Structure 1
């Protein structure tokens, strides 16, 4: 009597489905045929299938987390031109992109500068790099998030709504300066900042300096308290330069025309 184990393919498919191993379920036939041809050991076959499952699981995780991050498309650190924003250190941003200790400490990143200076691009690129490194990120327009939190407060569910945001290592708040106490009850924003203080990180994108934030929070006391929590253990970047978008467009047009990036004519000085 043979003691050879007889494989029932439909049953094996069912077992792998129940174990939630979709990649192994899809690949086991091809791998076992190759193993038979090449004389693989059982351990090598199992290791090869398990490795494929882990790789594919990581790919699915990244795709899922990238989709849920709601990052502006097409904006990465690779296509961010740091030469147009000399005040921003590429090396410093690279350290932040690894996510190492600052996210564990609940530190914040604050980006200041006029419209068009590349703040949103930089924030989106940093967020994408963090997702690639296994962290969870959520990118939100501040006014939209405030409206959601206001609705949660009306439903007596604000604490739960804020708690749900804890799963994100970094919460990006774009257009922060556009929220004002005149058209939004921004105390929910203050509660969000307080809840994440030293626990989870925030990245704030603002067109205006701290001195103008009184109109966001509607009073000096709340403004000072919010700024104090945001600044503690923060990384601050000031992009007070000419419009990044305008300079990038000019540089692209000059490259297409074969002109030097500094605007000088080939073979002679820049014309007046």
Structure 2
């Protein structure tokens, strides 16, 4: 899902982007899969923050990553956005955290 943020910055103040952000905000459940596979430049930081901020405490968001949460801060190009986004993702009052270790189910025997 995070790849959907790739082009948002090009449309930032356009009705198309605002419509798209509104749709992401209104979803009952938003799944951000493969978080951390790409670094978040400043535009992606802003887009992710906008989505997370408007959903915070109102709608459910699931973030899936192969990387430990302790490494997520370094994926952001901007420390302020990193703090703001990670606070919303990891806030102990609104989140459940599951850490799983095991075999890669995509690997064949």
* TM-score range relative to shorter protein: 0.7 to 0.9
In structure 2, the residue matched to 1:185 is 43
Residue aligning to 1:205: 64
**Could you report, residue by residue, the CA deviation over 1:160-215 in whole angstroms, capped at 9, with x for unpaired residues?**
32112233200111111123135x72211111111111111111111112332234
- Once residues 209 and 219 of structure 1 are traced to their aligned partners in structure 2, the CA distance between those partners, rounded to angstroms, is 19
Structure 2: segments with no counterpart, 5+ residues: none
Task: Report the Cα distance in structure 2 between the residues aligned to 1:158 and 1:245, rounded to whole angstroms.
Answer: 35
Q: Which runs of 5+ in 1 are unaligned?
A: 1-140, 251-272
Residue 101 of structure 2 is matched in structure 1 by 240
Partner of 1:142: 2
Aligned in 2, Cα 1:166/1:185: closer, same or farther, shift over 3 Å? closer
Match of 2:88, SS?
helix
4+ aligned runs moved over 4 Å, structure 1: none
State how many pairs are aligned. Answer: 106
| 3-state DSSP of counterpart to 1:242 | coil
Cα distance in 2 between the residues matched to 1:167 and 1:225? 20
More helix by share: 1
Say what the alpha-carbon RMSD is for the aligned residues. 2.3
1:229 CA drift (Å): 0.8
Counterparts in 2 of 1:28-47, with a 5 A limit? Answer: none
CA deviation vs aligned residue, 1:32-62 (integer Å, no higher than 9, x gap): xxxxxxxxxxxxxxxxxxxxxxxxxxxxxxx
Distance 1:215 1:155, change over 3 A: farther
